[in-house]
Amino acid sequence: MSHHAKTPIQAEKEDLGPCCYRIVARVPAARVREETDHAVRRAAAGLKVPGFRPGKVPTKLARELLGPSVEAEVREHLFQHVIDDALRAVGLHARAMKIHALDPDAYDLDAGEDLELTFEVETSPEVELPEWKEIVVEKGDVTPTEEQVRRALAALAEQHERFEEVEGGELEEGFPAEGDLTFVRDGVEGPKAEGLRLDLDTPIYGAEPEAYEAALRRKRAGEEARIPVTFLEGFEIEDWVGHSGEAVFAIRRVVQPRPATEEEIAEDLRLDGPEALRKAVVEQLTRQNEAEDRDRMAREIVERILALKPFELAERMVDEEARATTEDRIQRLVQAGRPEEEVRKEAEEHAAELRQACEQRLKHWFVLRKVAQQEKVRVSESELKRAVAQLAMRQGLPPDDLWEWFQEDDRLEELRSDIVMDKTRRVLVDRVLEAQEPAVLEEGPTA
Protein backbone atom coordinates (compact mmCIF):
# COMPACT_ATOMS: atom_id res chain seq x y z
CA MET A 1 0.00 0.00 0.00
CA SER A 2 1.22 3.51 -0.75
CA HIS A 3 2.59 5.44 2.20
CA HIS A 4 0.04 8.27 1.84
CA ALA A 5 -3.06 6.04 1.56
CA LYS A 6 -4.03 4.43 4.88
CA THR A 7 -7.60 3.31 4.32
CA PRO A 8 -7.57 -0.33 3.13
CA ILE A 9 -9.67 -1.68 0.30
CA GLN A 10 -11.36 -5.06 -0.14
CA ALA A 11 -11.07 -7.16 -3.27
CA GLU A 12 -12.30 -10.47 -4.63
CA LYS A 13 -11.28 -12.43 -7.72
CA GLU A 14 -13.26 -14.65 -10.09
CA ASP A 15 -11.49 -17.17 -12.33
CA LEU A 16 -12.38 -16.51 -16.00
CA GLY A 17 -10.10 -19.14 -17.52
CA PRO A 18 -6.35 -19.71 -17.84
CA CYS A 19 -4.43 -16.71 -16.48
CA CYS A 20 -7.48 -14.43 -16.57
CA TYR A 21 -9.49 -13.10 -13.60
CA ARG A 22 -12.26 -10.63 -12.89
CA ILE A 23 -11.47 -8.41 -9.91
CA VAL A 24 -14.08 -6.57 -7.87
CA ALA A 25 -12.52 -3.96 -5.59
CA ARG A 26 -14.53 -2.06 -2.97
CA VAL A 27 -12.90 1.26 -2.24
CA PRO A 28 -14.11 3.23 0.81
CA ALA A 29 -15.02 6.87 0.18
CA ALA A 30 -12.22 7.87 2.56
CA ARG A 31 -9.67 6.09 0.35
CA VAL A 32 -11.03 7.78 -2.77
CA ARG A 33 -10.66 11.14 -1.03
CA GLU A 34 -7.11 10.36 0.15
CA GLU A 35 -5.93 9.36 -3.30
CA THR A 36 -7.68 12.32 -4.95
CA ASP A 37 -6.22 14.82 -2.49
CA HIS A 38 -2.73 13.40 -2.92
CA ALA A 39 -2.93 13.63 -6.72
CA VAL A 40 -4.14 17.24 -6.56
CA ARG A 41 -1.43 18.24 -4.07
CA ARG A 42 1.21 16.73 -6.31
CA ALA A 43 -0.14 18.55 -9.37
CA ALA A 44 -0.32 21.82 -7.43
CA ALA A 45 3.21 21.59 -5.99
CA GLY A 46 4.42 24.50 -8.14
CA LEU A 47 1.20 26.51 -7.97
CA LYS A 48 1.65 30.07 -6.66
CA VAL A 49 -1.41 31.54 -4.94
CA PRO A 50 -1.31 34.84 -2.98
CA GLY A 51 -1.70 34.20 0.76
CA PHE A 52 -0.52 30.58 0.62
CA ARG A 53 2.94 29.10 0.84
CA PRO A 54 4.04 26.84 -2.06
CA GLY A 55 2.57 23.36 -1.57
CA LYS A 56 0.08 24.57 1.04
CA VAL A 57 -2.80 25.58 -1.23
CA PRO A 58 -6.02 23.89 -0.01
CA THR A 59 -6.98 20.90 -2.15
CA LYS A 60 -10.40 22.23 -3.14
CA LEU A 61 -8.97 25.60 -4.20
CA ALA A 62 -6.08 23.96 -6.06
CA ARG A 63 -8.50 21.73 -7.96
CA GLU A 64 -10.58 24.75 -8.97
CA LEU A 65 -7.51 26.68 -10.10
CA LEU A 66 -6.03 23.77 -12.04
CA GLY A 67 -9.35 23.06 -13.74
CA PRO A 68 -9.99 20.15 -16.13
CA SER A 69 -6.25 19.63 -16.72
CA VAL A 70 -5.88 17.94 -13.34
CA GLU A 71 -8.85 15.56 -13.65
CA ALA A 72 -7.08 13.05 -15.91
CA GLU A 73 -4.11 13.02 -13.54
CA VAL A 74 -6.38 12.45 -10.55
CA ARG A 75 -8.09 9.49 -12.22
CA GLU A 76 -4.81 7.95 -13.39
CA HIS A 77 -3.34 8.24 -9.88
CA LEU A 78 -6.41 6.83 -8.14
CA PHE A 79 -6.90 3.84 -10.43
CA GLN A 80 -3.21 2.98 -10.53
CA HIS A 81 -2.98 2.80 -6.73
CA VAL A 82 -6.34 1.13 -6.21
CA ILE A 83 -5.64 -1.52 -8.88
CA ASP A 84 -2.20 -2.22 -7.38
CA ASP A 85 -3.69 -2.71 -3.91
CA ALA A 86 -6.55 -4.83 -5.23
CA LEU A 87 -4.12 -7.13 -7.04
CA ARG A 88 -2.02 -7.45 -3.90
CA ALA A 89 -5.14 -8.26 -1.88
CA VAL A 90 -6.02 -11.20 -4.16
CA GLY A 91 -2.42 -12.39 -4.54
CA LEU A 92 -2.00 -11.50 -8.24
CA HIS A 93 0.21 -8.41 -8.11
CA ALA A 94 3.44 -10.26 -8.95
CA ARG A 95 1.85 -12.06 -11.93
CA ALA A 96 -0.30 -9.24 -13.38
CA MET A 97 0.57 -8.36 -16.97
CA LYS A 98 -2.32 -6.46 -18.50
CA ILE A 99 -5.58 -4.83 -17.33
CA HIS A 100 -8.75 -5.20 -19.41
CA ALA A 101 -12.40 -4.11 -19.26
CA LEU A 102 -11.77 -0.92 -17.26
CA ASP A 103 -13.24 2.45 -18.19
CA PRO A 104 -11.96 5.06 -15.69
CA ASP A 105 -14.34 7.70 -17.04
CA ALA A 106 -17.35 5.58 -16.08
CA TYR A 107 -16.82 6.25 -12.35
CA ASP A 108 -17.92 9.34 -10.42
CA LEU A 109 -15.10 10.27 -8.06
CA ASP A 110 -16.86 13.27 -6.55
CA ALA A 111 -19.96 11.54 -5.18
CA GLY A 112 -18.44 11.09 -1.74
CA GLU A 113 -19.52 7.44 -1.73
CA ASP A 114 -17.73 4.09 -1.66
CA LEU A 115 -16.47 3.02 -5.06
CA GLU A 116 -16.94 -0.47 -6.49
CA LEU A 117 -14.35 -1.02 -9.20
CA THR A 118 -14.55 -3.95 -11.63
CA PHE A 119 -11.84 -4.95 -14.09
CA GLU A 120 -10.17 -7.98 -15.62
CA VAL A 121 -6.52 -8.88 -15.30
CA GLU A 122 -4.39 -11.04 -17.54
CA THR A 123 -1.54 -12.74 -15.69
CA SER A 124 1.60 -14.67 -16.42
CA PRO A 125 1.30 -18.45 -15.91
CA GLU A 126 2.45 -20.18 -12.75
CA VAL A 127 5.46 -22.08 -14.05
CA GLU A 128 6.94 -24.99 -12.09
CA LEU A 129 10.30 -26.51 -12.88
CA PRO A 130 11.06 -30.21 -12.37
CA GLU A 131 14.24 -31.48 -10.80
CA TRP A 132 17.00 -31.40 -13.39
CA LYS A 133 17.69 -35.10 -12.93
CA GLU A 134 14.24 -35.84 -14.38
CA ILE A 135 15.42 -34.58 -17.77
CA VAL A 136 17.80 -36.40 -20.10
CA VAL A 137 19.37 -34.77 -23.13
CA GLU A 138 22.13 -36.05 -25.38
CA LYS A 139 24.98 -34.02 -26.79
CA GLY A 140 25.26 -34.12 -30.56
CA ASP A 141 28.33 -34.66 -32.71
CA VAL A 142 29.82 -31.21 -33.29
CA THR A 143 32.65 -32.34 -35.58
CA PRO A 144 32.39 -30.32 -38.83
CA THR A 145 31.56 -32.34 -41.94
CA GLU A 146 33.64 -32.09 -45.09
CA GLU A 147 30.71 -30.36 -46.77
CA GLN A 148 30.65 -27.70 -44.04
CA VAL A 149 34.38 -27.12 -44.47
CA ARG A 150 33.99 -26.94 -48.26
CA ARG A 151 31.17 -24.38 -48.04
CA ALA A 152 33.08 -22.28 -45.49
CA LEU A 153 36.20 -22.20 -47.68
CA ALA A 154 34.09 -21.33 -50.72
CA ALA A 155 32.49 -18.44 -48.82
CA LEU A 156 35.92 -17.18 -47.78
CA ALA A 157 37.09 -17.44 -51.39
CA GLU A 158 34.23 -15.14 -52.44
CA GLN A 159 34.85 -12.71 -49.57
CA HIS A 160 38.55 -12.46 -50.48
CA GLU A 161 37.98 -12.40 -54.24
CA ARG A 162 40.71 -11.14 -56.53
CA PHE A 163 40.33 -8.84 -59.52
CA GLU A 164 42.37 -9.52 -62.63
CA GLU A 165 42.74 -7.14 -65.55
CA VAL A 166 40.85 -7.95 -68.74
CA GLU A 167 42.99 -6.78 -71.66
CA GLY A 168 40.84 -4.68 -73.99
CA GLY A 169 37.80 -5.38 -71.81
CA GLU A 170 34.75 -3.14 -71.58
CA LEU A 171 32.87 -2.19 -68.43
CA GLU A 172 29.82 -4.50 -68.40
CA GLU A 173 27.85 -6.60 -65.93
CA GLY A 174 30.36 -8.74 -64.05
CA PHE A 175 33.28 -6.67 -65.35
CA PRO A 176 33.82 -3.65 -63.04
CA ALA A 177 36.47 -0.99 -63.55
CA GLU A 178 39.13 0.46 -61.28
CA GLY A 179 40.15 4.10 -61.46
CA ASP A 180 40.15 7.56 -59.92
CA LEU A 181 37.06 9.70 -59.29
CA THR A 182 36.95 13.51 -59.30
CA PHE A 183 33.88 15.61 -58.54
CA VAL A 184 33.51 18.71 -60.73
CA ARG A 185 31.15 21.69 -60.57
CA ASP A 186 31.18 24.47 -63.19
CA GLY A 187 34.66 23.42 -64.29
CA VAL A 188 36.06 23.53 -60.74
CA GLU A 189 37.49 20.30 -59.40
CA GLY A 190 36.43 19.22 -55.93
CA PRO A 191 37.03 16.12 -53.80
CA LYS A 192 38.92 13.19 -55.32
CA ALA A 193 39.06 9.48 -54.54
CA GLU A 194 41.77 7.24 -55.94
CA GLY A 195 41.71 3.51 -56.54
CA LEU A 196 37.91 3.10 -56.59
CA ARG A 197 36.19 0.12 -58.13
CA LEU A 198 32.86 0.85 -59.82
CA ASP A 199 30.35 -1.53 -61.39
CA LEU A 200 27.12 -0.95 -63.27
CA ASP A 201 24.85 -2.15 -60.45
CA THR A 202 25.82 0.32 -57.71
CA PRO A 203 25.37 4.02 -58.59
CA ILE A 204 27.46 6.53 -56.68
CA TYR A 205 25.72 8.87 -54.25
CA GLY A 206 23.84 11.62 -56.10
CA ALA A 207 23.70 9.85 -59.48
CA GLU A 208 20.53 8.67 -61.19
CA PRO A 209 20.81 4.92 -61.94
CA GLU A 210 20.07 5.19 -65.66
CA ALA A 211 22.43 8.12 -66.24
CA TYR A 212 25.12 6.39 -64.17
CA GLU A 213 24.89 3.19 -66.19
CA ALA A 214 24.82 5.04 -69.53
CA ALA A 215 27.98 6.98 -68.61
CA LEU A 216 29.94 3.85 -67.63
CA ARG A 217 28.76 1.10 -69.95
CA ARG A 218 31.37 -0.15 -72.47
CA LYS A 219 34.08 2.19 -71.26
CA ARG A 220 37.66 0.90 -71.56
CA ALA A 221 40.94 1.40 -69.75
CA GLY A 222 42.37 4.88 -70.41
CA GLU A 223 38.94 6.43 -71.02
CA GLU A 224 36.88 8.79 -68.85
CA ALA A 225 33.26 8.39 -67.80
CA ARG A 226 31.48 11.66 -67.02
CA ILE A 227 28.60 10.88 -64.63
CA PRO A 228 25.94 13.56 -64.00
CA VAL A 229 25.39 14.02 -60.25
CA THR A 230 23.52 16.20 -57.78
CA PHE A 231 25.50 17.10 -54.68
CA LEU A 232 23.31 15.91 -51.83
CA GLU A 233 23.23 16.55 -48.09
CA GLY A 234 26.46 15.42 -46.47
CA PHE A 235 28.69 16.23 -49.44
CA GLU A 236 32.18 17.34 -48.40
CA ILE A 237 31.82 20.88 -49.80
CA GLU A 238 28.71 22.39 -48.19
CA ASP A 239 28.41 25.19 -50.79
CA TRP A 240 27.93 22.58 -53.51
CA VAL A 241 24.99 20.89 -51.79
CA GLY A 242 21.83 21.18 -53.90
CA HIS A 243 23.73 21.96 -57.11
CA SER A 244 24.48 19.78 -60.13
CA GLY A 245 27.82 18.71 -61.50
CA GLU A 246 29.79 15.71 -62.68
CA ALA A 247 31.76 12.82 -61.27
CA VAL A 248 34.62 12.17 -63.67
CA PHE A 249 35.86 8.59 -63.46
CA ALA A 250 39.28 8.02 -65.05
CA ILE A 251 39.48 4.30 -65.78
CA ARG A 252 42.80 2.58 -65.11
CA ARG A 253 41.68 -0.93 -65.98
CA VAL A 254 38.65 -3.16 -66.50
CA VAL A 255 38.76 -6.23 -64.25
CA GLN A 256 37.08 -9.57 -63.72
CA PRO A 257 36.56 -11.02 -60.23
CA ARG A 258 37.62 -14.54 -59.35
CA PRO A 259 37.52 -16.49 -56.06
CA ALA A 260 40.69 -16.32 -54.00
CA THR A 261 42.83 -19.43 -53.64
CA GLU A 262 43.42 -20.96 -50.22
CA GLU A 263 46.98 -19.63 -50.33
CA GLU A 264 45.68 -16.09 -50.96
CA ILE A 265 43.08 -16.37 -48.21
CA ALA A 266 45.71 -17.59 -45.75
CA GLU A 267 47.92 -14.66 -46.72
CA ASP A 268 45.08 -12.16 -46.19
CA LEU A 269 44.34 -13.65 -42.77
CA ARG A 270 48.03 -13.82 -41.87
CA LEU A 271 47.95 -17.59 -41.48
CA ASP A 272 50.80 -19.95 -42.26
CA GLY A 273 49.45 -21.54 -45.43
CA PRO A 274 46.38 -23.62 -46.46
CA GLU A 275 46.75 -26.18 -43.65
CA ALA A 276 46.62 -23.45 -41.00
CA LEU A 277 43.63 -21.95 -42.83
CA ARG A 278 41.76 -25.28 -42.85
CA LYS A 279 42.55 -25.78 -39.16
CA ALA A 280 41.19 -22.32 -38.32
CA VAL A 281 38.05 -23.01 -40.37
CA VAL A 282 37.48 -26.34 -38.59
CA GLU A 283 37.89 -24.66 -35.18
CA GLN A 284 35.42 -21.92 -36.11
CA LEU A 285 32.90 -24.43 -37.46
CA THR A 286 33.27 -26.52 -34.31
CA ARG A 287 32.40 -23.50 -32.18
CA GLN A 288 29.39 -22.80 -34.41
CA ASN A 289 28.26 -26.42 -34.21
CA GLU A 290 28.65 -26.39 -30.43
CA ALA A 291 26.49 -23.25 -30.18
CA GLU A 292 23.82 -24.75 -32.46
CA ASP A 293 23.87 -28.02 -30.53
CA ARG A 294 23.50 -26.14 -27.25
CA ASP A 295 20.49 -24.28 -28.68
CA ARG A 296 19.02 -27.59 -29.82
CA MET A 297 19.50 -29.11 -26.36
CA ALA A 298 17.94 -26.03 -24.73
CA ARG A 299 14.84 -26.37 -26.95
CA GLU A 300 14.54 -30.07 -26.15
CA ILE A 301 14.90 -29.41 -22.42
CA VAL A 302 12.19 -26.74 -22.48
CA GLU A 303 9.88 -29.10 -24.38
CA ARG A 304 10.54 -31.75 -21.75
CA ILE A 305 9.75 -29.27 -18.97
CA LEU A 306 6.48 -28.40 -20.67
CA ALA A 307 5.61 -32.10 -20.88
CA LEU A 308 6.45 -32.68 -17.20
CA LYS A 309 4.92 -29.45 -15.86
CA PRO A 310 2.30 -28.24 -18.36
CA PHE A 311 0.54 -24.88 -18.00
CA GLU A 312 -1.92 -22.79 -19.99
CA LEU A 313 -1.75 -19.18 -21.20
CA ALA A 314 -4.38 -16.47 -21.38
CA GLU A 315 -6.29 -16.78 -24.65
CA ARG A 316 -6.04 -13.04 -25.28
CA MET A 317 -2.28 -13.11 -24.85
CA VAL A 318 -1.89 -15.82 -27.50
CA ASP A 319 -4.36 -14.09 -29.84
CA GLU A 320 -2.50 -10.77 -29.59
CA GLU A 321 0.86 -12.45 -30.21
CA ALA A 322 -0.55 -14.26 -33.25
CA ARG A 323 -2.07 -11.05 -34.65
CA ALA A 324 1.15 -9.09 -34.19
CA THR A 325 3.26 -11.87 -35.74
CA THR A 326 0.88 -12.23 -38.68
CA GLU A 327 0.83 -8.49 -39.38
CA ASP A 328 4.61 -8.28 -39.17
CA ARG A 329 4.99 -11.10 -41.70
CA ILE A 330 2.42 -9.55 -44.01
CA GLN A 331 4.19 -6.18 -44.00
CA ARG A 332 7.59 -7.77 -44.67
CA LEU A 333 6.24 -9.80 -47.61
CA VAL A 334 4.40 -6.79 -49.05
CA GLN A 335 7.57 -4.71 -48.81
CA ALA A 336 9.37 -7.51 -50.64
CA GLY A 337 6.92 -7.10 -53.54
CA ARG A 338 4.18 -9.66 -52.84
CA PRO A 339 0.56 -8.53 -53.48
CA GLU A 340 -1.08 -7.73 -50.13
CA GLU A 341 -4.36 -9.50 -50.96
CA GLU A 342 -2.47 -12.70 -51.82
CA VAL A 343 -0.36 -12.51 -48.66
CA ARG A 344 -3.37 -11.94 -46.40
CA LYS A 345 -5.19 -14.90 -47.95
CA GLU A 346 -2.20 -17.14 -47.22
CA ALA A 347 -2.09 -15.82 -43.67
CA GLU A 348 -5.75 -16.75 -43.14
CA GLU A 349 -5.12 -20.27 -44.47
CA HIS A 350 -2.27 -20.80 -42.01
CA ALA A 351 -3.78 -18.88 -39.06
CA ALA A 352 -4.33 -21.94 -36.86
CA GLU A 353 -0.80 -23.32 -37.17
CA LEU A 354 0.70 -19.84 -36.72
CA ARG A 355 -1.32 -19.35 -33.53
CA GLN A 356 -0.09 -22.71 -32.24
CA ALA A 357 3.52 -21.73 -33.00
CA CYS A 358 3.05 -18.40 -31.18
CA GLU A 359 1.59 -20.17 -28.16
CA GLN A 360 4.54 -22.54 -28.01
CA ARG A 361 7.01 -19.66 -28.38
CA LEU A 362 5.37 -17.81 -25.50
CA LYS A 363 5.47 -20.92 -23.31
CA HIS A 364 9.16 -21.34 -24.05
CA TRP A 365 9.74 -17.72 -23.03
CA PHE A 366 7.91 -18.15 -19.71
CA VAL A 367 9.86 -21.32 -18.91
CA LEU A 368 13.16 -19.56 -19.62
CA ARG A 369 12.07 -16.60 -17.51
CA LYS A 370 11.36 -18.96 -14.61
CA VAL A 371 14.78 -20.59 -15.03
CA ALA A 372 16.41 -17.14 -15.08
CA GLN A 373 14.62 -16.23 -11.84
CA GLN A 374 15.52 -19.52 -10.13
CA GLU A 375 19.16 -19.46 -11.24
CA LYS A 376 19.45 -15.69 -10.64
CA VAL A 377 20.67 -14.96 -14.17
CA ARG A 378 21.73 -11.31 -14.44
CA VAL A 379 23.38 -9.08 -17.03
CA SER A 380 25.98 -6.61 -15.81
CA GLU A 381 26.67 -3.19 -17.29
CA SER A 382 30.02 -4.44 -18.59
CA GLU A 383 28.29 -7.33 -20.40
CA LEU A 384 25.90 -4.88 -22.04
CA LYS A 385 28.75 -2.64 -23.17
CA ARG A 386 30.71 -5.63 -24.46
CA ALA A 387 27.69 -6.79 -26.49
CA VAL A 388 27.20 -3.31 -27.95
CA ALA A 389 30.92 -3.08 -28.79
CA GLN A 390 30.75 -6.40 -30.65
CA LEU A 391 27.69 -5.23 -32.61
CA ALA A 392 29.44 -1.95 -33.41
CA MET A 393 32.50 -3.80 -34.70
CA ARG A 394 30.38 -6.03 -36.96
CA GLN A 395 28.47 -3.02 -38.33
CA GLY A 396 31.48 -0.74 -38.62
CA LEU A 397 30.06 1.86 -36.22
CA PRO A 398 31.66 3.81 -33.36
CA PRO A 399 30.78 1.93 -30.11
CA ASP A 400 29.85 5.14 -28.25
CA ASP A 401 27.37 6.14 -30.97
CA LEU A 402 25.70 2.72 -30.93
CA TRP A 403 25.57 2.80 -27.11
CA GLU A 404 23.70 6.14 -27.25
CA TRP A 405 21.28 4.68 -29.81
CA PHE A 406 20.55 1.69 -27.56
CA GLN A 407 19.83 4.02 -24.63
CA GLU A 408 16.88 5.54 -26.54
CA ASP A 409 13.33 4.16 -26.31
CA ASP A 410 14.21 1.26 -23.94
CA ARG A 411 16.37 -0.42 -26.59
CA LEU A 412 19.00 -1.14 -23.94
CA GLU A 413 16.43 -3.08 -21.88
CA GLU A 414 15.47 -5.08 -24.95
CA LEU A 415 19.13 -5.94 -25.49
CA ARG A 416 19.47 -6.84 -21.81
CA SER A 417 16.46 -9.16 -22.10
CA ASP A 418 17.95 -10.87 -25.18
CA ILE A 419 21.26 -11.43 -23.38
CA VAL A 420 19.47 -12.79 -20.30
CA MET A 421 17.63 -15.31 -22.47
CA ASP A 422 20.87 -16.40 -24.16
CA LYS A 423 22.63 -16.82 -20.80
CA THR A 424 19.62 -18.68 -19.41
CA ARG A 425 19.69 -21.21 -22.25
CA ARG A 426 23.35 -21.90 -21.52
CA VAL A 427 22.69 -22.22 -17.78
CA LEU A 428 19.73 -24.53 -18.40
CA VAL A 429 21.80 -26.90 -20.54
CA ASP A 430 24.64 -26.84 -18.01
CA ARG A 431 22.33 -27.71 -15.10
CA VAL A 432 20.75 -30.66 -16.93
CA LEU A 433 24.08 -32.00 -18.13
CA GLU A 434 25.57 -31.64 -14.63
CA ALA A 435 22.61 -33.58 -13.19
CA GLN A 436 23.22 -36.36 -15.73
CA GLU A 437 26.93 -36.80 -14.99
CA PRO A 438 26.63 -38.95 -11.83
CA ALA A 439 24.26 -41.33 -13.60
CA VAL A 440 26.64 -41.62 -16.53
CA LEU A 441 29.55 -42.36 -14.17
CA GLU A 442 27.54 -45.02 -12.32
CA GLU A 443 26.66 -46.81 -15.52
CA GLY A 444 30.35 -47.02 -16.45
CA PRO A 445 31.71 -47.60 -19.95
CA THR A 446 29.48 -49.45 -22.38
CA ALA A 447 30.70 -52.55 -24.15
Residue 58 in this model has a pLDDT that exceeds 50: yes
The per-residue pLDDT for range 237-281, each reduced to its tens digit, is: 999 999 999 999 999 999 999 999 999 999 999 999 999 999 999
Q: Sign of the CA dihedral 250, 256, 259, 265?
A: negative
222 located within any domain: yes
The per-residue pLDDT for range 59-73, each reduced to its tens digit, is: 655 555 555 566 777
As a whole number, the mean pLDDT across the chain is: 89
Residue 241, domain extent: 162-258
175 located within any domain: yes
Domain count along the chain: 3
Residue 246 pairs in a beta bridge with 184, 228
The per-residue pLDDT for range 376-424, each reduced to its tens digit, is: 999 999 999 999 999 988 888 898 888 889 888 778 899 999 999 999 9
318 located within any domain: yes
342 located within any domain: yes
387 located within any domain: no
- How many Cβ atoms sit within 10 Å of the Cβ of residue 257? 15
75 located within any domain: yes
- Residue 184: CATH number of its domain: 3.10.50.40
Position 5 confidence tier, pLDDT thresholds 50, 70, 90: very low
**Helix 411-443 / helix 273-308 crossing angle, nearest 10 deg:** 90
pTM for the model stands at 0.77
42 located within any domain: yes
Residue 238 sits in the same domain as residue 320: no
